[in-house]
Structures are given as structure tokens and as C-alpha cells.
A = this chain, B = another copy of it.
Amino acid sequence: MNQRKVISFENIRVACKSCTLSQLCLPMGLCAEDVERLDSIVKRSRPLHRGDHLFRGGERFRSLYVVKTGSVKTYAPSEEGGEQVLGFHLPGEIIGLDAIDQSCHACSAKVLETSAICEIPFQRFEELAASIPSLQHQMYRLLSKEISQDTDMLLLLGKKNAEERLAAFLVSMSKRLSKRGLSATDFYLSMSRHEIGNYLGLAVETVSRLFTRFQDEGLLKVDRKHVQVRNLTALENMAGTPPSATHQQHSN
């Protein structure tokens, strides 16, 4: 069937079985044979570039998307220009789960930097899941995890002040990046201050001031998008979610 491409994009278009994300993503817990079956329905497009949309609010829902490399933000465009950033998505994270119910995307998804994305046609996925119990189970887990994460965010927006919010954001990024094999203390943020503020329910100015203050307090070293965490524990305490308070870690 499909001619194998043995060239430069090969590392971007890796099959699920050789993808380093398989333990975060849908293939988790599947046997080799079932991974192949899943792999056969995944579509891998050319890399997308900063500003490209995976989908826009209002479009018909057909597929789920998984970030393979790069990062994506989802946001709800509100009437008259304003928007609410709903999340930033790193490799291995699934996008579009909220659209299953209405068969229609309520939010938009835009890539923040050059990114490779896997597309999973949902109807075919559903058929497959019906015949692979562990895939079905993993899908329930991923949906459930999305709900827990939203719940954490509700707590953040409902109860935390500006300082706690930014600390929680930085801790979350740190954990998620390190789970992907990157440094937990030295990373680049792919989103702007404005997007961070929007996501956290804060004004840009507040975010900027907090970055400065955290740096003055020796918690961070910041240079534009480059962040070096100097005192992760202090940030965790500030964020109000000590690692042992919950029963297990679950951020994706």
C-alpha cells in the first residue's frame, strides 16, 4: 500500500510502535498487534507551523489530534475578539475530546510552534476500541484524566491568587516536560505572556510582574521565554499542591 518514506521526515512520522510517547498516549497497555491496528488508522500530516489551526470552533468534529512534537493551544473564541485560553498541549496529549458529545468543535486549536500532529479519525477509532478492551479502557482513562485536569484548573481559578496561579503553571510545565524526557528546571515556554495570563485569568502585566518578582526572590532565572527554575520546591509549596498531597501524580 503506502510507500515507505525513508527520508528526513521519518523521525517525525514514526509509527506508534516506535514512538517515544507510546506510554503517555493511546497505545499504553496495548499488545504489539493491537498497536499495529491502531497505527493503521492514524493519519500523519506534514508538520504544521506557528499559527496554523488544527480546527476552529464551529467545525464538524471528525478526528482527535495528538501532539507528537511541538505544542498547541486550545482556546474558546468569545463574541467580539476576546478569547479564553483553555489549555496548552504538549507531546502525547490528546486534543478534541470535548467535541465528541456535540460532534462539533466548541473551541479552536492553534499550534504555537512548528509541530507534528497525529490525527485519529474518531469513527474508525470507536470501531477499533469496541474490539480492543484495553484500548477502550485507556480511552476512558484519558477522558477521565482530562476531567481531573479541568477540575484542578477550576480549583486554581476559583481559589488561588495570582502568585499561586503562576507557580502552579510553572510547576505543571516543569512536571510535564520532565515526564517527556526534557529538563524539569530549564525550558523554553512556547506561549506568550499574554497567553499565559489569559490562561490563568490574569492580566499580562500581572504575569510580567510576577516573573520579575520570582526572579528577584531567586526562584527563577528568566530571559524572555527561557525559564530556569532555581527552587522547584518553593514553587510547589507556593502552588499549594505538594506532590504528596494527592495520592498519585497524574498530570499527563
Contact = CB atoms under 8 A, between A and B. Distances in A.
Nearest to A122: B140
A247 B103 CA distance: 10
A147 B151 contact: no
A155 interface: yes
A153 B153 CA distance: 10
A133 B140 CA distance: 14
Contact of A154 (B133, B141, B147, B153): B153
Contacts of A129: 136
Number of copies: 2
A82 B78 CA distance: 32
B157 A154 contact: yes
Contacts of A147: 97-98, 143, 146-147, 150
A159 interface: yes
A151 B247 contact: no
A104 interface: yes
7 contacts: A86-B151, A97-B144, A101-B141, A101-B145, A102-B148, A126-B133, A130-B136
Interface of A: 58, 76, 78-79, 82, 84, 86, 97-102, 104, 106-107, 126, 129-130, 133, 136-137, 139-148, 150-151, 153-155, 157-159, 198-201, 240, 245-248, 250
